[in-house]
């Protein structure tokens, strides 16, 4: 095998964020840019003999070209084999499953998740370890350190692999196997859920609508919902994978999944509606004229987990990210199991799952999952809901309202201000931090500040500490405001403000979340001065 050593110079902007390295496509298309980062990944690893690498992505623009480069570099850097999803397609949860099922050394996932795709939009790359989960900070820090000093990379002169054909290609002692990852993932889902019960629920006249948003879960949705569960083909929309996601923004929320929302709130609304994002790890759940917040979704799945065959024996524990509402905490207390509060980022759940401490976990950013893989999993969450609906014979709305009556309601909302110039976003954070000493005991109408901090997490498994994970303003009544900058965009910064108020009052539980939180929203504006400092009078997205 002819291996070339290519001289290069470092790029100083290759620091991975919470979900890998994300940049504009044209940045990745620069000579050596992708190869530098891939080599930095490989240089950070101690690759054993006969190691296999999993590779795939969400089908966005530049996915196929990047896969060919990674295959050639894997061959040059000592991997014996690469497993690739057919057409280069691997949803992020499916990639985690493949890594775990085939016992590969790790995997490279090509995705910018819910970000737009196309020649002028976003691309991303991240490394997952052999447990199937995102690389921990010690590895991503090592990758970044290596990227700042890289002087050469290795690449093999191999022909392009036909990714459309399932099968094995032998290349001078190096193997590339294209696999049917859709079937593998569907088999896993069928082993976990009561498919016959869901089939009966659909056959009884209940209707569902699923929106893949022209992203990676389209093929998986066809196999699971139509081929295996018997849903009509018309139950699916936007299921053809597109390199630019149909020109849309594949983020499953009330703003960007507007077409699905119109159906769910329309004249002949289905009983259940759901959407997933670009790489298939996020989900949005809707009933007939009813939206389920991700925080409530996690809590409700935990409360009804025993209706699902995979969890019939109970849960080891649950975990949520710090900005996620405390709804699941109340379920955990009732079940007598542990509930862990972690920073944002799925990698923090991995240690807890590997140690057997948690079974279910979730983030308010439309991500829910369990220990079946080490990533959040959109289609898994959809199947959880379908299984619970079929087993309980209740509607989405009745399930949620009954849950509130039992546990109380954590009225919750997230306000995103996207694409804020970085300097202005940092000014907002600095303004709030400057008030840390003076905010406690201040009174804002019905809200008295009890505590202000920047959340810090000590991992109970390995003792590692993650500081500065988001500003928390905690009120004496149990309400709270959380402020943090998101690390998932590629331009400017996204300021996220999370608002939460708990109520056991049945009348208050019926109110619209934005109405119920109106006073707290005004308090957040007063404390952050966000409208004045950024010029933004309204959020880009409200969920």
- For 391-445, the pLDDT digits (tens) are 999 999 999 999 999 999 999 999 999 999 999 999 999 999 999 999 999 999 9
- φ/ψ of 446, rounded to 5, equals -85, 0
Q: What is the pLDDT of residues 186-202, one digit of tens each?
A: 999 999 999 999 999 99
Task: Give pTM, 2 decimals.
Answer: 0.92
Q: What is the pLDDT of residues 340-352, one digit of tens each?
A: 999 988 888 999 9
Whether the pLDDT of residue 66 is over 70: the answer is: yes
Confidence (pLDDT) at 8: 98
Whether the pLDDT of residue 21 is over 70: the answer is: yes
- Residue 68 CA to residue 79 CA, distance in Å, equals 14
Confidence (pLDDT) at 541: 87
Confidence (pLDDT) at 486: 80
Q: What is the mean pLDDT of residues 45-51?
A: 96
Whether the pLDDT of residue 491 is over 80: the answer is: no
Catalytic site residue 486?
no
Q: Which residue has the tokens 């993650």?
A: 466
Confidence (pLDDT) at 489: 54
Closest of 391, 396, 386 to residue 229, by C-alpha? 386
Q: How close are the terminal C-alpha atoms of the chain, in Å?
A: 53
- Residue 139 CA to residue 502 CA, distance in Å, equals 39
User: Quick one: DSSP state of residue 246?
Assistant: G
Domain 3-179 carries which CATH code?
3.40.120.10
Count Cβ neighbours within 10 Å for each residue of 265-285 and write b for 16 or more, e otherwise: eeeebbbbbbbbbbbbbbbbb
Give the DSSP H or E segment for 250: none
Write out the DSSP string of 15-70.
--BBTBEEEEHHHHTSTTHHHHHHHHHHHTS-PPTT-EEEEEE---TTHHHHHHHH
Confidence (pLDDT) at 15: 94
pLDDT-derived band at 487 (thresholds 50, 70, 90) equals low
pLDDT-derived band at 490 (thresholds 50, 70, 90) equals low
Dihedral sign for Cα atoms in the order 145, 39, 90, 104: negative
DSSP H helical segments within 238-345, as ranges? 258-264, 294-303, 327-335
Confidence (pLDDT) at 111: 95
pLDDT-derived band at 263 (thresholds 50, 70, 90) equals very high
* CB-based contact 47:130 (threshold 8 Å): no
Closest of 33, 32, 43, 29 to residue 13, by C-alpha? 33
- Residue 25 CA to residue 7 CA, distance in Å, equals 23
Q: What is the pLDDT of residues 162-187, one digit of tens each?
A: 999 999 999 989 999 999 999 999 99
The angle formed by the CA atoms of residues 443, 420 and 429, to the nearest 5 degrees, is 35
Going from the C-alpha of 76 to that of each of 23, 35, 156, 289, the distances in angstroms are 25, 12, 5, 55
Q: Which residue among the candidates 19, 91, 111, 113 is catalytic per the annotation? A: 113
Q: Report the 10 Å Cβ neighbour count for 203.
A: 11
Confidence (pLDDT) at 137: 85
Whether the pLDDT of residue 478 is over 90: the answer is: no
pLDDT, the chain, mean: 95
Q: What is the pLDDT of residues 311-369, one digit of tens each?
A: 999 999 999 999 999 999 999 999 999 999 999 888 889 999 999 999 999 999 899 99
Token pair belonging to 257 = 């999944």
Q: Report the 10 Å Cβ neighbour count for 46.
A: 6
Confidence (pLDDT) at 385: 98
Confidence (pLDDT) at 260: 98
* CB-based contact 293:412 (threshold 8 Å): yes
Point out which residues pair with 475 in neighbouring strands. 449
Whether the pLDDT of residue 452 is over 70: the answer is: yes
Q: What is the mean pLDDT of residues 107-119?
A: 94
Rg of the chain's alpha carbons, rounded to an integer? 23
**All CATH 3.30.310.50 domain ranges in the chain, comma separated:** 409-542
- φ/ψ of 398, rounded to 5, equals -65, -35
Task: Return the axis-axis angle of helices 294-303 and 396-407, rounded to nearest 10°.
Answer: 80
**All CATH 3.40.120.10 domain ranges in the chain, comma separated:** 3-179, 184-407
More confident residue, 502 or 80: 80
User: Quick one: DSSP state of residue 534?
Assistant: H
- Residue 539 CA to residue 497 CA, distance in Å, equals 9
Confidence (pLDDT) at 19: 81
Contacts of 196 (CB under 8 A, 6+ apart): none
Task: Specify the CATH number for 184-407; select among 3.40.50.300, 3.40.120.10, 3.90.180.10, 2.40.50.140.
Answer: 3.40.120.10
Confidence (pLDDT) at 432: 97
Going from the C-alpha of 331 to that of each of 299, 318, 328, 335, 489, the distances in angstroms are 6, 9, 5, 6, 33
Point out which residues pair with 361 in neighbouring strands. 319, 369
- The bridge status of strand 106-110 relative to strand 122-128 is antiparallel
Q: What is the pLDDT of residues 182-240, one digit of tens each?
A: 999 999 999 999 999 999 999 999 999 999 999 999 999 999 999 999 999 999 999 99
Token pair belonging to 7 = 């001289």
* CB-based contact 273:208 (threshold 8 Å): yes
- Residue 39 CA to residue 153 CA, distance in Å, equals 6
Was domain 409-542 assigned CATH 3.30.310.50? yes
* CB-based contact 231:222 (threshold 8 Å): no
3-state secondary structure 179-214: ECHHHHHHHHHHHHCCHHHHHHHHHCCCCEEEECCC
Dihedral sign for Cα atoms in the order 383, 540, 20, 182: positive
Whether the pLDDT of residue 18 is over 80: the answer is: no
Whether the pLDDT of residue 506 is over 90: the answer is: no
Count Cβ neighbours within 10 Å for each residue of 429-468 and write b for 16 or more, e otherwise: beebeebeeebeeeebeebebbebebbebebeeeeeebee
């Amino acid at each position: 095998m002819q291996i070339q050593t290519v001289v290069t110079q470092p790029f100083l902007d290759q620091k991975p964020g919470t979900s890998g390295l994300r940049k504009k496509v044209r940045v990745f298309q620069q000579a050596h840019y992708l190869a530098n980062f891939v080599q930095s990944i490989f240089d950070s690893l101690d690759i054993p003999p006969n190691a296999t690498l999993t590779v795939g992505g969400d089908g966005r623009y530049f996915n196929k070209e990047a896969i060919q480069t990674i295959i050639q570099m894997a061959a040059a850097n000592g991997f014996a084999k690469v497993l690739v999803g057919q057409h280069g397609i691997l949803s992020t949860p499916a990639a985690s499953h493949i890594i775990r099922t085939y016992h590969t050394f790790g995997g490279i996932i090509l995705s910018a998740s819910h970000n737009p795709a196309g020649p002028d939009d976003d691309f991303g790359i991240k490394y997952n370890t052999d447990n199937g989960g995102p690389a921990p900070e010690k590895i991503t820090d090592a990758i970044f350190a290596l990227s700042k000093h890289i002087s050469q990379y290795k690449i093999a002169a191999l022909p392009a692999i036909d990714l459309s054909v399932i099968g094995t290609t032998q290349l001078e002692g190096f193997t590339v196997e294209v696999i049917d990852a859709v079937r593998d993932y569907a088999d896993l889902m069928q082993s976990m859920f009561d498919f016959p019960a869901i089939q009966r629920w659909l056959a009884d006249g209940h209707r569902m609508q699923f929106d893949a948003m022209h992203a990676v879960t389209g093929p998986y949705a066809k196999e699971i919902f139509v081929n295996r569960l018997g849903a009509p083909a018309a139950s699916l929309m936007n299921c053809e994978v597109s390199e630019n996601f149909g020109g849309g923004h594949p983020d499953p929320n009330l703003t960007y999944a507007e077409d699905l929302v119109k159906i769910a709130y329309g004249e002949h609304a289905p009983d259940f509606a759901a959407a997933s994002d670009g790489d298939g790890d996020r989900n949005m759940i809707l009933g007939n004229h009813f939206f389920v917040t991700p925080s409530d979704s996690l809590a409700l799945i935990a409360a009804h987990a025993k209706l699902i065959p995979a969890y019939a024996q109970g849960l080891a524990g649950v975990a949520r990210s710090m900005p996620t509402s405390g709804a699941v905490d109340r379920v955990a207390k009732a079940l007598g199991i542990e509930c862990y509060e972690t920073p944002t980022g799925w990698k923090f759940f991995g240690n807890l799952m590997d140690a057997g401490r948690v079974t279910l976990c979730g983030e308010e950013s439309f991500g829910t999952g369990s220990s079946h893989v080490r990533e959040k999993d959109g289609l898994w969450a959809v199947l959880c809901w379908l299984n619970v609906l079929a087993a309980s014979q209740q509607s989405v709305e009745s399930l949620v309202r009954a849950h509130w009556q039992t546990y109380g309601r954590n009225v919750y909302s997230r306000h995103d201000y996207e694409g804020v110039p970085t300097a202005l976003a940092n000014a907002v954070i600095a303004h709030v931090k400057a008030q840390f000493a003076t905010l406690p005991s201040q009174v804002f109408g019905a809200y008295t500040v009890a505590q202000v901090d920047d959340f810090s997490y000590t991992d109970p498994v390995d003792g590692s500490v993650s500081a500065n994970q988001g500003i928390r303003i905690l009120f004496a009544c149990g309400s709270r405001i959380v402020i943090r900058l998101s690390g998932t965009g590629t331009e400017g910064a996204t300021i996220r403000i999370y608002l939460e108020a708990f109520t056991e009052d049945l009348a208050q539980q019926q109110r619209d979340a934005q109405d119920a939180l109106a006073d707290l929203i005004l308090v957040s504006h007063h404390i952050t001065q966000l409208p004045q400092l950024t010029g933004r009078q309204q959020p880009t997205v409200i969920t």
